[in-house]
Amino acid sequence: MKLCYITRIKNLKGNIVSPSHNKTRRSFSINLHFKRVWSEANNSWSRRKVSSSGLRVLDKFTYRNRSV
């Protein structure tokens, strides 16, 4: 199952609408990437599936908590 580790976004369901307005079900897949994430609890790297919006959340969180 496609699921983002950070945002918990899953595939969305919707309709394909033909010119005559016949509707058939389809799924919208999310943009997933594999990303290595540091776990402070285990002191190790773990490989997680993260969406593009989840990557932005990770970047925002890591830059905010970075000590200069």
Return the pLDDT at 66.
61
Structure tokens that stand for 47 in this block: 């490989």
**What are the phi and psi torsion angles at 40 (to 5°)?**
-75, -25
Per-residue pLDDT tens digits for 11-20? 999 999 999 9
Q: Is the sign of the CA dihedral 18, 24, 25, 27 positive or negative?
A: negative
| The CATH number, out of the four listed (1.10.3720.10, 3.90.1300.10, 2.30.170.40, 3.90.1150.10), of the domain defined by the range 12-64 | 2.30.170.40
Per-residue pLDDT tens digits for 9-68? 999 999 999 999 999 999 999 999 999 988 888 889 999 999 999 988 888 877 666 655
State how far the Cα of 17 lies from the Cα of 61, in Å rounded to an integer: 39
Return the pLDDT at 65.
65
Global pTM? 0.67
Burial readout 18-45 (b: 16 or more C-beta within 10 A, e: otherwise)? eeeeeeeeeeeebebeebeeeeeeeeee
Domain ranges of the chain: 12-64
